[in-house]
Structure 1
Amino acid sequence: MPRSIWKGAISFGLVTIPIKLFSATEEKDVSFRQVHPEDGGRIKYKRVCEKCGNEIPYGEIAKGYELSDGRMVILDNEDMASLPLPTTKAVEVVQFVGEEDIDPTYFARTYFLEAETAGTKPYVLLRDALIKTERCALVKVALRSRESLALIRPKDGMLLMHTMLWPDELRDGSFAAPSADVSVSDAEVAMAQNFIEALAGDFNPDEYTDSYRQAVETLVQSKLEGAELPEEEAPQEAEVVDLVAALRASVEAAKKRREESGESTKKSKKAV
């Protein structure tokens, strides 16, 4: 069982729910070392003070808040622990909203909420009430030295908490929108709809894998064995002149892939 990263309580009106917080996700990216290519030695970095030139152990490094005039205010662990912020140990419910009301762009990280023994019944009460009302709890919480908005929602018999970015942390992406002068015909939209329907289905995350990570692992293994990797053909970029014709071909290809996928699934089931 993973270790909890935070302990506190949810303030649900006059009801208090003591909880533990656990990370719900872990990234499994490919990890590389920075090395000297001539001998494979790892590149190391030292934490050196720019004034005295001494190497400073990590445990002796403090936080410094630099003011606009260049002055530096030193903050230690005791200072940070004494922040006048009620959300450091309590999750404050500020509103109940529909899940569809929150733009997914706001979401940052996901956590499991586990009730402490004394909080099991009020935990279940909040969970069931959210399910019945089809609402989520919008809360404020302080984690990892910063306060965030967050959304608590029921899923699979438990409560999940999604931390959120603040509105001023979302960039204005209007520059990426196509010009209003660009339009498409009804026939093009209809064919695009056909393509969407040809690939429509229920989301099953187990059907997808990280091809990049697999390719890197294959490359590493080939290096160890001294074998050469087969060359992949680079995708050819073609200028699309007739959108309807291109989409029609895409629909046929999608239908063919789905049929082939269905056949391979049937064969694998028969083999089992």
Structure 2
Amino acid sequence: MPRSIWKGAISFGLVTIPVKLYSATEEKDVSFRQVHPKDGGRIKYKRVCEKCGEEVPYGEIAKGYELPDGRMVILEKEDFDQLPLTTTKSVEVVQFVGEDEVDPTYFAKTYFMEAEGPGTKPYVLLRDALIKTGRCAVVKVALRSREALALIRPVDGVLRMHTMLWPDELRDGAFAAPPADVTVSDAEVTMAQSFIEALAGDFDPSQFHDAYREAVEEVVQSKLTGVEVAAPEEEAEEAEVVDLVAALRASVEAAKKRREEGAKQAV
């Protein structure tokens, strides 16, 4: 059972729902240590004050807010505890929206919400009401020393909360748009649609895996056992194709072939 990272309550009109938050995700990236290659010793860093040169223990490090003129304001734990926020221990519902109205680019992190004590019945009430109306709750909440927008939605009987970025934290991506004078023909679009249909299917995340992490772990085992890793087969280089329709037609055939081979292996 994971540990809850936050306790508070959802303010649903005049109804209060005590809840606990649990992180819904965990990173499983490959982790490396910085070491001295001569003897394998780990490299350690010292926290040194730039003014007096003293090494400062982690427990004695404070948070400083630097003003534009260079002045530094030191903030203590008590300052954060006294922040004038109504959302420090509550999840305040501010709006109900359709799930498709929120751009996924806004999502930052996902949490499971668990009802606590007497909160079970109002939790179920909110969950079922969201399901019946087909809407999600936009809320404000303070987590990890900052206030955030979040979206609460029912998934598999559980309320999930997705913290969101603020609008001014999203960059303008207009620079990445292709020039307006670049166009494609109907034939090219039709062939692209055929390729999309050839790879269309229901999303099943269990069918995918992290090949990079597996390859690194295989190399690590090779180092330990002294058994060399088999070199991957080199794929034949394909000639550059200028004709988009021809390239997509070949892609469709290759996709169909992969799907047929996958179906045979499944049997």
Normalising by the residue count of structure 1, what TM-score does the alignment of the two structures yield?
0.95
Question: Deviation per CA, 1:211-236, whole angstroms, max 9, x where unpaired?
Answer: 00001001111122223333332674
Question: Deviation per CA, 1:153-205, whole angstroms, max 9, x where unpaired?
Answer: 00111100000000000011111111111111111111111110010000111
Match of 1:28 in 2: 28
Distance in 1 (CA, whole Å) between partners of 2:236 and 2:116 is 54
Question: Deviation per CA, 1:76-110, whole angstroms, max 9, x where unpaired?
Answer: 11111111111111111000000000000000000
Q: Which structure 1 residue ranges, 4+ long, deviate > 6 Å from structure 2?
A: none
Q: Aligned partner of 1:21: which letter?
A: L
Question: Deviation per CA, 1:54-81, whole angstroms, max 9, x where unpaired?
Answer: 2211111111001111111111111111
Match of 2:241 in 1: 240
Over 3 Å counting, the alpha-carbon distance change for 1:236 and 1:169 in structure 2 is farther
Over 3 Å counting, the alpha-carbon distance change for 1:79 and 1:195 in structure 2 is same
Q: Kindly state the Cα deviation for residue 39 of structure 1 after the two structures are TM-superposed.
A: 1.5
Distance in 1 (CA, whole Å) between partners of 2:127 and 2:164 is 20
Over 3 Å counting, the alpha-carbon distance change for 1:183 and 1:46 in structure 2 is same
Match of 1:270 in 2: none
Match of 1:259 in 2: 260
Normalising by the residue count of structure 2, what TM-score does the alignment of the two structures yield?
0.97
Give 3-state SS (helix, strand or coil) of 1:223's partner.
helix
**Structure 1: runs of 5 or more not aligned:** 267-272
Match of 1:158 in 2: 158
Match of 2:121 in 1: 121
Match of 1:172 in 2: 172
Question: Deviation per CA, 1:112-131, whole angstroms, max 9, x where unpaired?
Answer: 00011111111010000000
Match of 1:207 in 2: 207
Distance in 2 (CA, whole Å) between partners of 1:29 and 1:116 is 33
39-48 vs 22-31, greater mean Cα deviation: 39-48
The number of equivalent residue pairs is 266
Q: Kindly state the Cα deviation for residue 240 of structure 1 after the two structures are TM-superposed.
A: 2.6
Q: Aligned partner of 2:39: which letter?
A: D
Give 3-state SS (helix, strand or coil) of 1:139's partner.
strand
Match of 1:217 in 2: 217
Q: Kindly state the Cα deviation for residue 36 of structure 1 after the two structures are TM-superposed.
A: 1.1
Does residue 86 of structure 1 match 2:86? yes
Query: 1:41-52 to 2 correspondence within 5 Å?
Result: 41-52=41-52
Distance in 1 (CA, whole Å) between partners of 2:188 and 2:59 is 62
Identity %: 79
Query: 1:182-197 to 2 correspondence within 5 Å?
Result: 182-197=182-197
Match of 2:251 in 1: 250
Distance in 1 (CA, whole Å) between partners of 2:37 and 2:229 is 21
Give 3-state SS (helix, strand or coil) of 1:40's partner.
coil
Q: Kindly state the Cα deviation for residue 144 of structure 1 after the two structures are TM-superposed.
A: 0.5
Distance in 1 (CA, whole Å) between partners of 2:225 and 2:37 is 19
Q: Aligned partner of 1:247: which letter?
A: L
Match of 1:5 in 2: 5
Q: CA RMSD in A?
A: 1.2
